[in-house]
Structure 1
Amino acid sequence: MTETDTKPGISAAIIVQGSRVLMVRRRVREGELMWQFPAGAIEAGETAEEAAVRETLEEAGLTVKASRLLGERVHPKTGRLMSYTACEAVSGEAHVADADELDAVAWVAHDEIKEYVPYGLFEPVQEHLDEVLGSDAS
């Protein structure tokens, strides 16, 4: 059995507000992963979209609503099944709500993403961000 068979999938929230996307920095680094989107394990009976909404509130104190599932893959760095959901901010201000897991949050401009994630994003996520933030790129 692989890790993908034995561990629950991870759901990530792709939250765009204005001309920026929300990223969080984990307190404990996962290999090369330092900055990433709010994310966490999908719980029993929960959809990927529901998990993205819950994890964003738990980690970053931001209430969001899921817009659409952007895609799924086995993450090349962690081997975990990943789901990516586009979300819209509903209320609250992003901050470190779970200090055990996170040490920072940042609203990142389109042209800064490569500085936070130098190895590149999952193609459907990059395409979504290019579409919604692309006109703001310099």
Structure 2
Amino acid sequence: MSQRSTDERPPIAAAIIVNDGQVLMVRRRVKEGQLSWQFPAGEVEAGESGDEAAVREALEETGLTVRATGSLGERVHPNTGRTMFYVACDLVAGTAYVADEEELAEVAWCDRATLTAYVPYPFFGPVQEHLDANLR
């Protein structure tokens, strides 16, 4: 059963892009609470699915063409109060870079150890399980 936010703002879709045992993280120019390093993500636009939004945001923020491969669930984020959709994605084409210079400061491919250093708190359970199964 999923939780829905009472927030009237559109939900956020996050792209969990794993490639060659690493996950792509972005560092936002403006922190959202404790959140500095996070997954490429943004608001779901009208008429768009969570999968479509995650794919679009990955391209807009990092220049990567990705394919959504499955939902990792949804929740109301405990720090932001926003409804979040988490979408597993495979890399199709491109090299990650800061494509949205207004929003992002940097991008990084993280293995398990690097990810723990960048994000020292646990992820949403289904996302953590996906990362545990796919990162080296």
Q: Which runs of 5+ in 1 are unaligned?
A: none
Alignment of 1:107-122 (within 5 A): 107-122=109-124
Cα displacement (A) at 1:19: 1.5
Q: Matched residues in 1 for 2:6 and 2:15: separation? A: 20
User: Does the CA contact (< 8 Å) of 1:60 and 1:95 recur in 2?
Assistant: yes
Alignment partner of 1:36 out of 35, 38, 52:
38
Q: Which moved more, 1:114-123 or 1:21-30?
A: 114-123
Q: In structure 1, what is the Cα distance between the partners aligned to 2:85 and 2:50?
A: 6
1:48 pairs with 2:35: no
Tell me the secondary structure at the aligned position of residue 7 of structure 2. Answer: helix
Is the contact between residue 4 and residue 74 of structure 1 (CA under 8 Å) also seen in structure 2? no
Moved over 3 A (4+): 2-5
Pick aligned residue for 1:123 from 122, 125, 129: 125
Structure 1 counterpart of 2:105:
103
Q: Decide which structure has greater helix share.
A: 1
Q: Which amino acid aligns with 2:66?
A: V
Instruction: Tell whether the 8 Å contact from 1:15 to 1:89 is kept in structure 2 after alignment.
Output: yes
How many residues are treated as equivalent by the alignment? 133
Taking only the aligned residue pairs, the percentage that are identical comes to: 62
Query: CA RMSD, aligned part only?
Result: 1.3
Cα pair 2:5 2:76 within 8 Å, conserved? no
| CA shift for structure 1 position 60 | 0.3
* 2:18 maps to which of 16, 36, 50: 16
Deviations 1:74-124 (A, max 9, x none): 001100000000000001100000000001000000122221111211110
Aligned to 1:70: 72
Structure 2: stretches of 5+ with no match in the other structure = none
Counterpart residue type for residue 73 of structure 2:
G
TM-score normalised to structure 1 length: 0.93
- What secondary structure does 1:46 align onto? coil
Q: How big is the shift at 1:27? A: 0.6
What is the TM-score of this pair, normalised by structure 2? 0.94
Deviation at 1:3, TM superposition (A): 6.5
d(CA) in 1 for partners of 2:92, 2:39:
17
